[in-house]
């Protein structure tokens, strides 16, 4: 197996995805290895329960004789939990039916695994079912953000085997950042950055690159690449996250009662002096559209959050509400009846431009109020499927690159998108380099979705017969029959999924209509998937009237 891609929930390694093993894929120094814990806590949570140790392929309960604080520290560290809180007897958890392991454990407390601790035989008759060890470790948060303006912004650090280390910014993107923000209860991700934005980290680099889907409860559940000795070896820096610290509750992601995170507590906001400028900052920070309405508490439930009584004074162009100046609110003027409620526009995060319809064109993504492009590197049908679904444009028909619809402008926000195809929005897909200009604009990605029609047949007896009209810009135009031939008809019928052309007619067979005349001559070879792809030549203006409109009957 080469480049194994497990989600972590598979029952066997063979169920994981992997790239085909290539002869040059691995050298003798690149074979994978793993160290498992061989210890577990049963009957409680991952970090609490009756202690069992794996011995000769059998899970065994541990006798509490001589089991002390140093032993507990090793177990808790090995399970990636926090410090030991309490060593208990079996009364706290069920006794279970596991065989008793009667060895006494004598750890110094700094071992990485309990199996590295010395043991000695326990005294006979000193170990009964009621003498099994129960242990409570602290439920330790395994990720933190440091050197930022708050605990919800900073360099990502990861806790593993009792030590904090860093995460490389290779492949670091908004899907990864979303998991960190959720794990820390910090709202939505505002940005996923790299480099030394919040200073350079120290200690081990635990994770080389991360591939989260965005729905994981903790960063440890995400797929990761092997760690590097340092990020510099991978031409990378440390991963950075900025979380919103603001949310709308009781409605949708873009509507509800406004809450702000203050001193690790979510608090409702007093509506005294909260105005349009403040609302603009909140809606932008949450990646929603413009504010539609600032409401009082009648629209959503009042909730039981504590009231944050500061008045907010944004200019309207701040990137985050926490960057706005504040002042103490007037006394006795803030209750749950005065909490701010906000309705932002549900803004689309992706659009297709310069393709003559909303369902075809260059792919652009909206981030923090600015549109940017997508690099065509590894741009594929799975990525395009997400865009077409998000825009309600059907299925992807063509995946295009090399700035087929013209070069864009602004930043290149996504490079090497890694969608599985089921994501609800392109921004939820992994990306090899979020916000990094890996590509120039002559490599912008494009897509044509099935919901985009370049041609249609109107006023016939069914969808596959009628007067031919083609889309030009946002206007449907009739087609001049000068030079329109069998090859052109084959492309139209194929595009409309109407079988083969039966007959090319003039307008006498169908009504002339009042559509404007498109006077370009079409020169298809007959194998194009869309009439849009066929070459055209200069105007036939003098030979085209409403009496020269193409009518077409296809076989289906």
pLDDT surpassing 90 at residue 260: yes
Query: What tokens appear for 275 in the block?
Result: 């105005």
Model pTM score = 0.67
Asked whether residue 16 is domain-assigned, the answer is no
Could you tell me if 477 and 537 lie in one domain? yes
Asked whether residue 314 is domain-assigned, the answer is yes
Q: What are phi and psi of 357, to 5 degrees?
A: -165, 165
The answer to whether the Cα torsion of 344, 347, 349, 354 is positive or negative is negative
Asked whether residue 20 is domain-assigned, the answer is no
6-48 pLDDT tens trace: 767 788 888 877 655 444 556 666 778 888 889 999 988 888 9
Give the domain CATH number at 205.
3.10.250.10
Boundary of a domain, candidates 75, 107, 137: 137
pLDDT band at 508 (very low <50, low <70, confident <90, very high): low
**Range with the largest mean pLDDT of 126-140, 355-369, 533-547:** 355-369
Cα 406 from Cα 161, distance rounded (Å): 51
Domain containing 507: what range?
Answer: 455-554
Three-state SS sequence of 46-95: CCEEEEEEEECCEEEEEECCCCCHHHHHHHHHHCCCCCEEEEECHHHCCC
pLDDT of residue 423: 83
Cα 463 from Cα 271, distance rounded (Å): 56
pLDDT cut 90: percent of the chain above it: 24
Asked whether residue 27 is domain-assigned, the answer is no
Boundary of a domain, candidates 137, 162, 189: 137
Cα 218 from Cα 80, distance rounded (Å): 13
Asked whether residue 15 is domain-assigned, the answer is no
Could you tell me if 127 and 90 lie in one domain? yes
Mean pLDDT of 312-329: 88
How big is the CA angle at 222 (ends 219 and 226), to the nearest 5 degrees?
Answer: 100
Query: How many domains in the chain?
Result: 5
pLDDT of residue 338: 76
411-423 pLDDT tens trace: 888 888 888 878 8
Three-state SS sequence of 100-162: EECEEECCCCCCCCHHHCCEEECCCCCCCHHHECEEEECCCCCEEEEEEEECCEEEEEEEECC
Residue 316 region, left (φ>0) first, then alpha (ψ -120 to 50), else beta?
Answer: left
Pick from 86, 8, 90, 11: nearest CA to 52 = 90
User: What mean pLDDT is reported for the chain?
Assistant: 83
| 155 or 437, higher pLDDT | 155
Cα dihedral value 118, 119, 120, 125, nearest 10 = 160
Cα 165 from Cα 152, distance rounded (Å): 17
pLDDT of residue 144: 93
Start-to-end CA span in the chain (Å): 48
In the beta sheet, which residues pair with residue 157? 144, 166
Cα 385 from Cα 207, distance rounded (Å): 30
270-310 pLDDT tens trace: 887 789 999 999 998 888 888 888 886 666 777 788 888 78
Could you tell me if 232 and 148 lie in one domain? yes
pLDDT of residue 18: 67
If one counts every other C-beta atom within 10 angstroms of the C-beta of residue 431, the result is 28
Cα 290 from Cα 308, distance rounded (Å): 24
Cα 211 from Cα 183, distance rounded (Å): 16
Residue 250 region, left (φ>0) first, then alpha (ψ -120 to 50), else beta?
Answer: left
Q: What are phi and psi of 502, to 5 degrees?
A: -100, -45
Boundary of a domain, candidates 243, 262, 290: 243
Asked whether residue 23 is domain-assigned, the answer is no
Cα 321 from Cα 152, distance rounded (Å): 13
At 402, is the secondary structure helix, strand, or coil? coil
Asked whether residue 463 is domain-assigned, the answer is yes
Asked whether residue 286 is domain-assigned, the answer is yes
Could you tell me if 150 and 228 lie in one domain? yes
232-251 pLDDT tens trace: 554 568 889 999 999 999 88
Could you tell me if 306 and 238 lie in one domain? no
66-123 pLDDT tens trace: 889 999 999 998 888 888 998 887 566 777 788 888 788 999 998 989 999 999 887 6
The DSSP line for 274-315 is --HHHHHHHHHHTT--SEEEEE-TTSS---SPEEE-EEE---
Cα 399 from Cα 448, distance rounded (Å): 7
pLDDT surpassing 80 at residue 495: yes
**Residue partners of 327: CB distance under 8 A and separation at least 6:** 310, 311, 313
pLDDT of residue 90: 59
433-475 pLDDT tens trace: 777 777 899 999 999 987 767 788 988 878 889 889 888 766 7
Query: What tokens appear for 195 in the block?
Result: 């480099």
């Amino acid at each position: 197996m080469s480049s194994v891609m497990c989600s972590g929930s598979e029952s066997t390694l063979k169920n994981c995805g992997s790239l085909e093993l290539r002869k040059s894929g691995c050298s003798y120094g690149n074979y994978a290895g793993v160290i498992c814990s061989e210890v577990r806590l049963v009957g409680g949570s991952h970090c609490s329960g009756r202690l069992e140790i794996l011995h000769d392929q059998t899970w065994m309960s541990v006798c509490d004789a001589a089991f002390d604080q140093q032993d507990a520290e090793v177990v808790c560290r090995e399970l990636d939990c926090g410090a030991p809180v309490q060593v208990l007897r079996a009364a706290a958890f069920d006794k279970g039916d596991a065989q008793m392991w009667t060895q006494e454990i004598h750890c110094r407390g700094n071992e990485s695994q309990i199996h590295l601790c010395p043991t000695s035989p326990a005294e006979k008759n000193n170990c009964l079912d009621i003498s099994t060890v129960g242990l409570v470790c602290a439920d330790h948060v395994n990720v933190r953000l440091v050197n930022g303006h708050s605990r919800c912004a900073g360099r990502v650090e990861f806790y593993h085997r009792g030590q904090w280390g860093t995460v490389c910014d290779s492949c670091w993107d908004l899907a990864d950042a979303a998991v960190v923000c959720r794990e820390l209860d910090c709202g939505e991700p505002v940005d996923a950055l790299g480099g030394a934005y919040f200073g350079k980290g120290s200690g081990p680099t635990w994770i080389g690159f991360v591939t989260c889907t965005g729905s994981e409860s903790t960063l440890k559940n995400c797929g990761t690449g092997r760690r590097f000795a340092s990020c510099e070896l991978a031409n990378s820096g440390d991963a950075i996250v900025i979380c919103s610290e603001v949310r709308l509750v009781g409605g949708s992601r873009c509507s509800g009662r406004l809450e702000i995170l203050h001193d690790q507590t979510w608090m409702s906001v007093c509506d005294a002096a909260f105005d349009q400028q403040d609302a603009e900052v909140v809606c932008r920070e949450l990646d929603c559209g413009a504010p539609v309405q600032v409401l009082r508490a009648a629209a959503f439930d009042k909730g039981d959050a504590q009231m944050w009584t500061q008045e907010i004074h944004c200019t309207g162009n701040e990137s985050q509400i926490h960057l706005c100046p504040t002042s103490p609110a007037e006394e006795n003027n803030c209750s749950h009846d005065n909490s701010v409620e906000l309705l932002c526009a549900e803004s689309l995060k992706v659009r297709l431009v310069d393709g003559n319809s909303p369902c075809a064109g260059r792919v652009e993504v909206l981030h923090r109020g600015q549109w940017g492009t997508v690099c065509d590197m590894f741009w594929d049908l799975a990525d395009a499927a997400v865009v077409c679904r998000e825009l309600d444009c059907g299925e992807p028909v063509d995946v295009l690159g090399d700035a087929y619809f013209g070069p864009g402008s602004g930043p290149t926000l996504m490079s090497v998108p890694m969608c599985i195809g089921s994501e609800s929005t392109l921004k939820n897909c992994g990306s090899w380099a979020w916000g990094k200009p890996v590509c120039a604009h002559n490599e912008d990605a494009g897509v044509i979705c099935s919901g985009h029609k370049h041609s249609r047949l109107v006023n016939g007896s069914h969808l596959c017969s009628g007067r031919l009209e083609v889309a030009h810009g946002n206007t449907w135009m009739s087609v001049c029959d000068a030079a329109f031939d069998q090859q052109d008809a084959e492309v139209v019928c194929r595009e409309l999924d109407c079988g083969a052309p039966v007959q090319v007619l003039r307008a006498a067979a169908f009504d002339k209509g009042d559509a404007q005349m498109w006077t370009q001559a079409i020169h298809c070879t007959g194998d194009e998937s869309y009439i849009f792809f066929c070459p055209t030549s200069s105007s036939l203006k003098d030979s085209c009237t409403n009496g020269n409109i193409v009518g077409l009957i296809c076989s289906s």
